[in-house]
Amino acid sequence: MAGKDFDGFVVLVTGGSTGLGRAIAVETAARGAEAVIINYASSQAEAEETARQVESHGAQAVLVQGDVGEDADCRRIAAAAEPFGRIDALFNNAGVTKFAPNHADLDAVNADDFLRLYQVNVVGAFQMVRAARALLEAGDRAGAVVNTASIAGVTGIGSSVPYAASKGAMNTMTLSLARALAPKIRVNAICPGFIDTPWFGKAMPDDTVARMREGVIRSTPLQAASTAEDIAGAAVFLASPASRHVTGETLLVDAGTHLGFASLSMR
């Protein structure tokens, strides 16, 4: 059983072209998934590379371009699972941000930033659940939804105020949907800290990313800058049979970032 706990699973990953989404797609394939549907927005070549890695583990890969902020696209993405008759695991992983790390600079963000981030990070995940609901309910076991939220949504840190707010909303939505969709669908979330993915390099120079990586290693209790592979296992756990009695949970996967750094000195 160990190592093949996704035997026969039909998996759908949004934002599967790069980073955490790719790592989740490949991890489920390595653990025995029958088919992995890989959604991407614009990075077709990277999504094709994810598909190659999925197929190297013997799973069928299905690529679907689509913007999860658009309801019609979400329905088309979910429909890619129809030939398989069900979805066992939906990973709502697609996400966007605006980098405005000085949260005190209230003029660095505007209403359009909030709406754009909510449209993808919150509305997109909701629309995907709605589009996939019947397929998530169609299998013998409860379908699993795993939302990629963030430590930003728990502590308010992160790339900008709208980003943290959107991930906080995703965590609340995880609770609402877990209650509403039980017992046929489980809904959980992971809250990663820093993950070393293309996320940062898309928005800032390499030397800035390198400084950030070093800062994370210095400041996290586990002294680690997590890779996508370090985080994927926790996401996949929440869709696996081992978590079959877990729903409405937000799992912090942040190398201890949420613990803060002040140890209690008795001297």
Residues within the interface to ligand NAP (CB under 6 A) = 14-21, 39-43, 67-69, 93-96, 120, 148, 150, 192, 194-195, 197-199, 228
Task: Give the shortest CB-182-to-ligand NAP separation in angstroms.
Answer: 24
Which is nearer to ligand NAP, 39 or 160 (by Cβ)? 39
Q: Which of 9, 163, 194, 200 is labelled catalytic?
A: 163
Report the length, in residues, of the chain.
Answer: 267
Which is nearer to ligand NAP, 37 or 138 (by Cβ)? 37
Task: Give the shortest CB-114-to-ligand NAP separation in angstroms.
Answer: 15
Residue 118 falls in the annotated catalytic set: no
Which is nearer to ligand NAP, 53 or 93 (by Cβ)? 93
Task: Give the shortest CB-222-to-ligand NAP separation in angstroms.
Answer: 15
Task: Give the shortest CB-40-to-ligand NAP separation in angstroms.
Answer: 4
Q: What is the C-alpha to C-alpha distance for residues 60 and 54, in angstroms, rounded to an integer? A: 7
Which is nearer to ligand NAP, 43 or 219 (by Cβ)? 43
139, 86 Cβ separation under 8 angstroms: yes
Place of tokens 């729903």: 247
What does the DSSP assignment read for 23-70? HHHHHHHHTT-SEEEEEESS-HHHHHHHHHHHHTTT-EEEEEE--TTS
Task: Give the shortest CB-181-to-ligand NAP separation in angstroms.
Answer: 21
Which is nearer to ligand NAP, 198 or 256 (by Cβ)? 198
Classify each residue of 51-87 as buried b or exposed e, where b means 16 or more C-beta atoms within 10 Å of its C-beta: bebbeebebbbbbbbbbbbbbebbeebbebbeebebb
- For the annotated catalytic residues, the residue numbers are 163
